[in-house]
Amino acid sequence: MAQWFAAKAAHPDALLFFRMGDFYEMFFEDAHAVAEALDLAVAHRGEHGGKPIPMAGVPHHAAEAYLARLIRRGFRVAICDQMESLEESKKRRAPTIRREVVRLITPGTVTEEALLDGGRPAWLMAVVADGEGFGAAWLDVSTGAFCTEAVGADGLGALLARIDPAEVLAGPGVVLAREDARPAIPPSAPAAHLARLLGVATLDGFGSFSEGEIAAAAMAADYAAASQGGRMPRLLPPDPQGGQEVLAMDAATRKSLEITHSERGTPRDCLLAAVDRTLTAAGARELAGRLASPLTSLAAIEARHDAVAWLLAAPPARRLLREALKGAPDMARAIGRIALDRFSPRDLAAIRDGIGRAGQAEAALSQRPGIGGGLDPEGAAPLPALLAAARGRLGAAPDLGLDAALAATLPPRLDDPGSIAPGYDGELDALRRLRDDARGAIAAMQMDLAQAWGIASLKIRHHQQFGYLAEAPAAVAETLLRAPPKTAEGYAPIHRQTMASAVRFTCTALAALDRRLSEAGAEAARREALVLRALRERVLAAAEPIWALAAALAALDVEAAAAEMAAARGWCRPVMTGRTDFCVLGGRHPVVEAALARAKGPAFVPNDCDLSPGRRLCLLTGPNMAGKSTYLRQNALIVVLAQAGMFVPATEARLGIVDRLFSRVGAADDLAGGRSTFMVEMTETAAILHQAGPRSFVVLDEVGRGTATWDGLAIAWAVLEALHDRIRARAIFATHFHELTALAGRLPELAPAAMQVREHRGQVVFQHSVAPGAAERSWGLHVARLAGVPRATLARAESVLKALEQRARGLTPLAEELPLFAPPPPTASPDPLLAALDALDPDTLAPREALEAIYTLKALRPTPVP
């Protein structure tokens, strides 16, 4: 218990798994916490302070399953292991076996396959304050990926939402909304410390980093090394992400669009789950990363589209490629465990098999699509750049000789025999023959002893504690005990153990045979371990090309899966432009469409969306239940898919690159933060009004509905005008305020649209289609009837509605009556130069039109007074 107290004092905020023989034991409060989390019984062992010590335990051999459940619930676990055998402690004349904390397992530092989600990265992120902004770094211990970025004061939340780390370290002065963020202190002299951890003299060769990025990177790497018992994980060089062109989305937008998680936080019913047709764990992680970080570089997006288009046009090549990828091992995580010296023979096999699959994938890419979609080895359609580069990396796969070295069937643990194939190492083969001759040697010894002792039923058995012993039935053994026979030297029976039904004996000859066989087995195990260590070093020497190979296979998996999705669901390649185009024909919501297909329900109703220059602001009206929210989200998700490099669920699509995506759809409060639903809505709306610009894409639903009617209408009206006049973004603005349709005549780029509803025999039929114009009515009472509101309440509501509508008929239209909504009065003498300038839309001008506009503006310039 003294060892337990010392280890717990060093790791007070972690559950302590304390190794005692074949079990990991937990004591005191740890025992109660683990018992509650894992549904275990609490026992007691000894006393402390006059009270029994609570204890709970799990078997050592099954610990991973229990650890997985604890890590998923957010616990940190310190592994305190036995560092010597009982015999070694006796030689030291120590009172007990020496134990030490060898590992700290946390959500961001796990490497074991059983503890990891194969399809999601396990990012460990560190954040430090850097002037008015922040430096951030995130790494994945399981794969070696390592990235950094410097962000402004208002960009940290969006970065956290984009990376979605499993664990966060917060430097001094950094306050994060996450309850699980851990305070941490950056190392002193962070640049030198990080260089030392990475084994380099300087960081200059990795790129340009801010001081905050270096401090965060050093803090993350230091924490990762400490969690592994001081053993530094093998990391890729830190990659500064600041210069990358990535679609900006804040946390509210990601939550609203349910890109990688549903609003309930589960991986089901989100965009990722709906479009994931990858075949490998690494491919699933790559797809999740692409959807979380869509690109804004036109060239990079089109390069991905080219790869998907080639694979879509070549079904046989795509089939061969997906057959090569199916079941391909996770090489990146395997080499991570190999680097940490926490590997099994099956991790070496993952490298072997991955290299083999790479060869098959390279062969598949050599099959090129010809006329009619068939294969043409002569190359009617050359490989696009991304596929050609991937094939080049596949062709450079290292030859590590693992096929000849590893056995066909491998044990799960490094200590188990049988990892090295027969014929690979001559010395190991000789030791194995000696060890494996045990069966024949024991059979011969059994026959000799049975004859020498006169006991035909004698059997030689192996026991864990005593080794090989001769076992005779109790009735026969009594004679052997009373009158031992005269035997040749070394064969005299020696009594060892008496049981109810048998008696066990040994003799000098049997003990000598036991010793020889045991030594042969130990020597074979030592030799096999030596060969495995040599293979490990060979793999680590080729770590860089193996990482490149793993990345190439993951990217190919995503691109082939995207082509498979496009082929199965009739998705189209979007035409991407550098202008502010947005025209989608026959667009569909990918998640809803997938759900309907799974349920074998009705087909999804496609809809067009045209936000081209001149009509870039859509004012969408219509009743609840008609599909407004679906329509808003589907167009935002089409942007995400297109800029992630995938095809989109539409008949045709022409999209201008979006730099920032905003979605304020759905109502939710923040009770823990003390914010009402309306406050959350206004906060998210404010973020849009401050950050959106002409190249942004905005979807807004029911702005202003959380307050009094006139307040809400005033806010919605002002927001709509701001989107049109000042922000000039492409936007869909859904509302129940029908009064806003009066703005159509005043805002030239506002295009009203409505969800179509039909009334048939007193019943409302939602057609789920969008058409130009404004909705005629709200149909709220019909929706209430569908929801099961009592008939008496509905009848009363209908009479109140008729009375209100009758009073409203005599009112002057709102836009003409209230000064709040009146347009600003025109100036007495408008400046013709400013009027001409306001009429220009730079995003739509051709070069010649732009030149003519310059001449026009110059002609309108006032003549200077002499």
- 554 and 515 in a single domain? The answer is no
Neighbours of 69 (CB within 10 A): 14
Pick the more confident residue, 205 or 534. Answer: 534
pLDDT over 90 for what percent of the chain? Answer: 55
Q: Which residue has the higher pLDDT, 858 or 139?
A: 139
Does pLDDT of 866 surpass 50? no
- Is residue 272 domain-resident? no
CATH number at residue 200: 3.30.420.110
- Residue 275 within any structural domain of the chain: no
Classify residue 116 by burial, with Cβ atoms within 10 Å: 0-12, 13-18, 19+. buried
Q: Are residues 758 and 844 part of one domain?
A: no
Mean per-residue pLDDT, 278-298: 96
Assess whether 21 and 158 both reside in one domain. Answer: no
Q: What is the pLDDT of residues 350-390, one digit of tens each?
A: 999 999 999 999 999 987 655 455 555 554 578 999 999 99
Residue of higher predicted confidence among 17 and 601: 17
In a domain, residue 292? The reply is: no
Residue 343 falls within a domain, yes or no? Answer: yes
Write down the pLDDT at residue 687.
87
Task: Please tell me the predicted confidence (pLDDT) of residue 777.
Answer: 62
Q: Averaged over 25-42, what is the pLDDT?
A: 94
Give the rounded percent of residues in the chain with a pLDDT score beyond 70: 91
Q: What is the distance between the alpha carbons of residues 463 and 442, in angstroms, rounded to a whole number? A: 14
Inform me whether the pLDDT recorded for 547 exceeds 90.
yes
> Is 25 in contact with 18 (CB distance < 8 Å)?
yes
Q: Residues 630, 727: contact at Cβ < 8 Å?
A: no
Tell the burial category of 744 from Cβ atoms under 10 Å away from its Cβ (0-12, 13-18, 19+).
middle
Per-residue model confidence (pLDDT) at position 481? 86
Q: What confidence tier does 808 reach under pLDDT thresholds 50, 70, 90?
A: low
756 domain residue, yes or no = yes
Spell out the long-range contacts of 414-419 with Cβ–Cβ below 8 A and sequence spacing 24 or more. 414/343, 414/344, 414/345, 414/529, 414/532, 415/525, 417/524, 417/525, 417/528, 419/345, 419/348, 419/528, 419/532
Same domain? 382 vs 461 = no
Residue 519 lies in a domain: yes
Residue 293 domain-assigned (yes or no):
no
Pairwise pLDDT comparison (562 vs 178), residue with the higher score: 562
Q: What is the pLDDT of residues 165-192, one digit of tens each?
A: 999 999 998 988 787 889 999 899 999 9
Q: Is residue 315 located within the same domain as residue 341?
A: yes
206 is in which domain, residue-wise? 114-244
CA-to-CA separations, 28 to 44, 47, 348, in angstroms, rounded: 9, 11, 40
Rounded to an integer, what distance in angstroms lies between the CA atom of residue 126 and that of residue 190?
13
* pLDDT tens digits, one per residue of 82-141: 998 887 888 888 888 899 999 999 999 998 888 888 889 999 999 999 988 999 999 999
DSSP alpha helices (H): ranges in 92-146? none
* pTM attached to this predicted model: 0.82
**Is the residue at 191 inside a domain?**
yes
Residue type, 364: A
Domain C-terminal end among 244, 259, 275: 244
pLDDT tens column, 765-779 = 778 889 888 876 666
HSE-CB at 340 with a 13 A cutoff on CA atoms is 29
**547 and 519, same structural domain?**
no
64 and 143 in one domain? Answer: no
Asked if residue 676 and residue 766 are part of one domain, the reply reads yes
pLDDT at 811: 47
Identify the CATH number of the domain in which residue 359 sits: 1.10.1420
Q: Look up tokens 């310059």; give the residue.
A: 854
Residues 749, 614 contacting (CB under 8 angstroms):
yes
pLDDT for the residue 818: 42
Task: Confirm if 503 and 472 have CB atoms less than 8 A apart.
Answer: yes
Q: Which two tokens stand for residue 349?
A: 């096999």
Which residue in the block uniquely carries the two structure tokens 């000039």?
728
3-state secondary structure 196-265: HHHCCCCCHHHCCCCHHHHHHHHHHHHHHHHHCCCCCCCCCCCEECCCCCECEECHHHHHHHCCCCCCCC
CATH number at residue 499: 1.10.1420.10
- Predicted local distance difference test score (pLDDT) of residue 177: 78
Q: Are residues 717 and 836 in the same domain?
A: no
DSSP 88-104: HHHHTT-SS--EEEEEE
804 and 662 share a domain?
yes
Number of domains in the chain: 6
pLDDT for position 857: 78
Q: What residues contact 6, with CB distance under 8 A and at least 6 apart?
A: none
Q: Are residues 595 and 664 in the same domain?
A: yes
Q: In terms of domains, do 798 and 843 share one?
A: no
- Tens of pLDDT along 194-222? 999 999 999 988 988 999 999 999 999 99
Ramachandran class of 144: left when φ > 0, alpha when ψ lies in -120 to 50, beta otherwise = left
Distance (Å, whole) CA 650 – CA 604 = 12
Average pLDDT of the chain to the nearest whole number = 87
Q: In this predicted structure, what is the pLDDT of residue 820? A: 41
Least confident of 245-249, 282-286, 839-843: 839-843
> For the segment 812-855, what is each residue's pLDDT rounded down to a tens digit?
455 454 444 444 444 445 677 777 777 777 877 778 778 878 87
According to DSSP H, which parts of 668-817 are helical?
Answer: 677-691, 709-722, 780-786, 791-808, 814-817
Residue 402 and residue 421: Cα distance in Å, rounded?
A: 10
Cβ atoms of residues 386 and 555 within 8 Å: yes
CATH number at residue 78: 3.40.1170.10
DSSP state at residue 113: G
User: What pLDDT sits at residue 369?
Assistant: 56
